[in-house]
Structure 1
Amino acid sequence: MRILLAEDEFIERKAMRKFIEENFPAIEIVAEAENGRKAIELAEKTSPDVIFMDIRMPGINGLEAIEKINMGNPAIKFILVSAYDSFDYAKEAMRFGIKDYILKPGKKEEIVKAILRVQKEIEVEKIQQLERIQALGLRHERLITELMHAPLQESTLIMQKKLFPKMLSGCFLVVKHGSKLMVEGGLQRLGQAAATFQFITRQVEDIVVVCLLASTILQRSDVLQVARSLQQKIGDTVYIGIGSPTTVLAELPRSYEEAYEVCMQLGTDRKRQYGFLSLKKTGQKGEAILARIEAIIERGQQEEAIQYFQQYQDKLTLSDKEELYLRLKNGLVTRNIAPPSISFSSLKTNQDWHAFLHLCCSKMKGFYQSKSFIEQARNFMHTHFQEAITLENVAASVNLSASYFSNVFKQEFGMNFIEYLTMIRMQKAKGLIEENTYSLKEISFMVGYKDPNYFSRVFKKHYQESPKQFQQAILKK
């Protein structure tokens, strides 16, 4: 926590600083102000979490300074200090949500209690902010997942209107060999160009899918410039496929398909780092057709895969088909998915191939759905672990049956739901005990246990010592 001291009496100010530093070593005094004007300047420069504000100071008084500081940064908390026990001052201060009012000379217990109260309030606000960010992240992930696959549902349009009401156009980028963190950082550093659009991302294996959502009508030249700048910021190891921009939400899945296909082509050709899908539709031979079918299968789009195979099967040699068969099976195996038990020699007719492609698509689609659902469930558990959540609650949050969710969950994490939830709660409890801010009873409630005795038994089973023993061992260090 960062504190600014605003006090015109030099000795009083230094005494307060010494007291805080001796009793709260984790707290940083970022600045001292001898009057209200200086307090306003330093608050803007240092952005403290808390300001100890003397009411009576020369020039701009404490309440006037609070009003100006609050306009620029309403998140800052204030603890008023005054030699005057005036109800009018306290009443005026309440306009800014100030609850702590210390009379000079401040008693040590009052100062400690005031700091602990505001510290706890800041921690609670940070947790609530983190929960809001995590919840928004889940909604964004759900939206981009739905925008990647046609046909779009009515609920997708409603979600887009709620999350991005100013959207007028959009398109997809697919980045190969880049991490989600690198791509998001690169997009955020684009400067003025980034002001015209928002974006949501999703990591899938070694690619990052980006959906640009613009408040203007995107032109191909605009998106090309974004891709060029992004590639320069990330480096020459990435390939960026660009999908056509559109003003129609229902056409975004097609934009994703284009971006994915050209990204795979760029990675194979290694002639350029970014670009749109070639406008030439004729003359597609062997490798290009195989790459296209492979890309469609990886997205789990059954009807499109079969339709594309039908369209170009006459251009595929027996060797091409064998290569396609091996690629599809290897694509499943590398993801630890059991491939269809169909031999290449048994694929004699178009119907045989359609059945094989259908099975490959189903398996790939199930794989990505499971990954997505499990990640959403994991985030839900980390956000709501302090609540009385059950396997059924979490399964319902990702629209899966409890029995199916239980099986997939254990396969993914190597432990069942209760074991994983307990692990989250115990890790959080351990961290809270190490902070030494709350009582063990408070910690029990904070991590989801209403019975402190039961919490103690679970903690001992997990760490081989009781919460009390663990706390005492820390205090001895």
Structure 2
Amino acid sequence: MKKERPSAYEYRKRGTIMRILLAEDEFIERKAMRKFIEENFPAIEVVGEAENGRKAIELAAATSPDVIFMDIRMPGINGLEAIEKINAGNPVIKFILVSAYDSFDYAKEAMRFGIKDYILKPGKKEEIVKAILRVQKEIEAEKIRQLERIQTLELRQERLITELMHAPLQDSTIITLKALFPEIQSACFFVVKRAGKSAVEEGLEKEATYRFIARQVEDVVVVCLVASEVLHRTDVLQLAIRLQRKIGDSVYIGIGSPAILLEELPKSYVEAYEASVQLAADGKRRVGFLPAEKIQQIDDDVISRMEAIVEKGQQEEAIQMFQKYQRKLSPDNKEELYMRLKNGLVIRNIVPPSIAFSSMQTNQDWHTFLHLCCSKMKEFYQSKSIIEQAKKFIHAHFQEAITLENVAASVNLSANYFSNMFKQAFGMNFIEYLTMIRMQKAKGLIEENTYSLKEISFMVGYKDPNYFSRVFKKHYRESPKQFQQTILKK
């Protein structure tokens, strides 16, 4: 059974229709061409007919066709002149020349404007079909490439806005932002609750004079406004009010502070998000900034993040974050940060840097302080890791004749350095710890009542049962035999 071709209506629904304008001064030929196209190409729509060059120029501007069949010899403005004017206004339109004259000069002249084909009158149906199919294929390929470019740009912008939402900003993010918006002087965030991305974008296209990128994140639309001038709070507030009125009364728009330093954009996003949440919770206003006292909480968040970075011993990240936010931190904020970092060392029994807060006057002073704090934290965690490794080694080999040197070698440290580290970690020296492990194991084996005391002595690392007995008695205040008899009486 022969499959029916889709109708023009179905093609239009799919967005695959190709639009053609016919420019031909001979009425009969023009009508014949239109009928031929409409009967044989349901994916093509004839959007207009022009009987001369001037009319072709007017209709091209009014209808924006994909292709124009252009007769060369027409009264008044001829085909080549019309092509030149149309091309100047809309260079993407493609042309198929139609002429009764086989002239190479015409074709050569027309090549300047990207003429796709040259058909001699009376045009054979096969030639017309081939010409249309060639142009149609080229237009479809161009649309696919354009769609791919748009999709690639959208993905790039979505990735960018996601990165701009999170501090600290990476250098690569700022480079990408400046590459997409080379004119950028300042920027800020909107967070729009209870609205779709398309509605927000449509509203901004009509109301904003700034460029923007937007992304739907669950139930909110996150917008980053990018301006070629310094944004002021009144500017973005007025824009948000117009946008809210455009979208409707159901939406809430939180606004972040304009950022001249691009590194402050994540803070603008946090402010905008918090403002949108508060607006929706209060239900009194639809648009607004975060109150000043709430912004102070964001400063507290910066201090908490700095504290977390230092606790991990991440020196470079700590210094970079301080550089980005130090202008936003008040003297009180900096003193709080100083005290929290010192306390974080003290509670871990780490001696803090001997630098007084009053002496920290420059950024370099802070860099030195942060460097020392991170180094001490890193040493602390490294020592914990080393001690854990040593502990595992001791528990695996306690029944052998192991020494402090054996354990130190297992973690690649000198015996003296390891001995000091071990005592600091456990509050006892290596021999005391090894003895404790052996005695605990011996006690457990005696309670099992499976092995003789002599066997247990060898099993916990003592070759001399008498020495084992003396050590056990010193540890538990009774000999192994007395302890065994006590167990058996129960």
Q: In which range does the TM-score fall when normalised by the shorter chain?
A: 0.5 to 0.7
Determine the structure 1 residue equivalent to 2:38.
21
Determine the structure 1 residue equivalent to 2:226.
213
Determine the structure 2 residue equivalent to 1:182.
199
Q: How far is 1:304 from its partner?
A: 3.8
Q: Is the 8 A contact 2:21 2:69 kept in 1?
A: yes
Q: TM-score, normalised to structure 1's length? A: 0.59
Task: Give the alignment's Cα RMSD to 1 decimal.
Answer: 2.4
Determine the structure 1 residue equivalent to 2:109.
92
Partner Cα separation in structure 2 for residue 281 and residue 4 of structure 1: 61
Q: How far is 1:154 from its partner?
A: 1.0
Q: Does 2:219 match 1:202?
A: no
Q: How far is 1:302 from its partner?
A: 11
Determine the structure 1 residue equivalent to 2:271.
258
Determine the structure 1 residue equivalent to 2:451.
none
Q: How far is 1:23 from its partner?
A: 1.0
Determine the structure 2 residue equivalent to 1:152.
169
Q: Give the secondary-structure state (helix, strand or coil) at the position aligned to 2:191.
A: strand
Letter in 2 for 1:227: A
In structure 1, runs of 5+ residues without a counterpart are: 308-349, 352-477
Q: Which residue of the other structure, out of 83, 86, 100, is the alignment partner of 2:100?
A: 83
Partner Cα separation in structure 2 for residue 150 and residue 173 of structure 1: 17
Determine the structure 1 residue equivalent to 2:67.
50
Partner Cα separation in structure 2 for residue 302 and residue 3 of structure 1: 64
258 and 106 in structure 1: CA distance in 2 versus 1, 3 angstrom threshold: same
Q: How far is 1:99 from its partner?
A: 2.7
Letter in 1 for 2:182: P
Partner Cα separation in structure 2 for residue 306 and residue 262 of structure 1: 25
Q: Does 2:121 match 1:104?
A: yes
Q: Does 2:186 match 1:173?
A: no
* Per-residue deviation, residues 22-65 of structure 1 (Å, max 9, x unmatched): 11123111111111111101110111111000001111110110
Letter in 1 for 2:236: V
Determine the structure 1 residue equivalent to 2:255.
242
Q: Give the secondary-structure state (helix, strand or coil) at the position aligned to 2:118.
A: strand
Q: How far is 1:15 from its partner?
A: 1.1
Q: Is the 8 A contact 2:116 2:135 kept in 1?
A: no
Q: Which residue of the other structure, out of 49, 73, 78, is the alignment partner of 1:61?
A: 78
Partner Cα separation in structure 1 for residue 271 and residue 198 of structure 2: 23
Q: TM-score, normalised to structure 2's length? A: 0.57
* Per-residue deviation, residues 226-254 of structure 1 (Å, max 9, x unmatched): 11111111112111111000211001111
Q: Does 2:290 match 1:277?
A: yes
Partner Cα separation in structure 1 for residue 305 and residue 195 of structure 2: 27
8 and 276 in structure 1: CA distance in 2 versus 1, 3 angstrom threshold: same
11 and 281 in structure 1: CA distance in 2 versus 1, 3 angstrom threshold: closer
Q: How far is 1:306 from its partner?
A: 8.1
Letter in 2 for 1:237: S
Q: Does 2:128 match 1:115?
A: no
Q: Is the 8 A contact 2:22 2:69 kept in 1?
A: yes
Structure of higher CA gyration radius: 2
Q: Give the secondary-structure state (helix, strand or coil) at the position aligned to 2:97.
A: strand
* Per-residue deviation, residues 268-320 of structure 1 (Å, max 9, x unmatched): 111111101112369x9xxxx8xx89xx8xxxx9954988xxxxxxxxxxxxx
Letter in 1 for 2:245: Q
Partner Cα separation in structure 2 for residue 303 and residue 133 of structure 1: 40
Determine the structure 1 residue equivalent to 2:29.
12
Q: Does 2:280 match 1:267?
A: yes
Partner Cα separation in structure 1 for residue 277 and residue 74 of structure 2: 67
Letter in 2 for 1:94: M
Partner Cα separation in structure 2 for residue 186 and residue 235 of structure 1: 10
198 and 155 in structure 1: CA distance in 2 versus 1, 3 angstrom threshold: same
Q: How far is 1:86 from its partner?
A: 0.5
Partner Cα separation in structure 2 for residue 183 and residue 302 of structure 1: 34
Letter in 2 for 1:115: I
Partner Cα separation in structure 2 for residue 107 and residue 306 of structure 1: 81
| 1:38-437 superposed matches below 5 A | 38-190=55-207, 194-195=208-209, 197-280=210-293, 303-304=304-305
| 1:452-463 superposed matches below 5 A | none
Letter in 1 for 2:173: T
Q: Give the secondary-structure state (helix, strand or coil) at the position aligned to 1:241.
A: strand
Q: Give the secondary-structure state (helix, strand or coil) at the position aligned to 2:292.
A: coil
Q: Give the secondary-structure state (helix, strand or coil) at the position aligned to 1:105.
A: coil
Letter in 1 for 2:267: R
Letter in 2 for 1:33: A
In structure 2, runs of 5+ residues without a counterpart are: 1-17, 309-346, 349-490
Query: Structure 1 runs of 4+ off > 2 angstroms?
Result: 301-307
* Per-residue deviation, residues 94-115 of structure 1 (Å, max 9, x unmatched): 1111130000000000000000
Percent identity over the alignment?
74
Letter in 1 for 2:234: S
Determine the structure 1 residue equivalent to 2:425.
none
Q: Give the secondary-structure state (helix, strand or coil) at the position aligned to 2:167.
A: coil
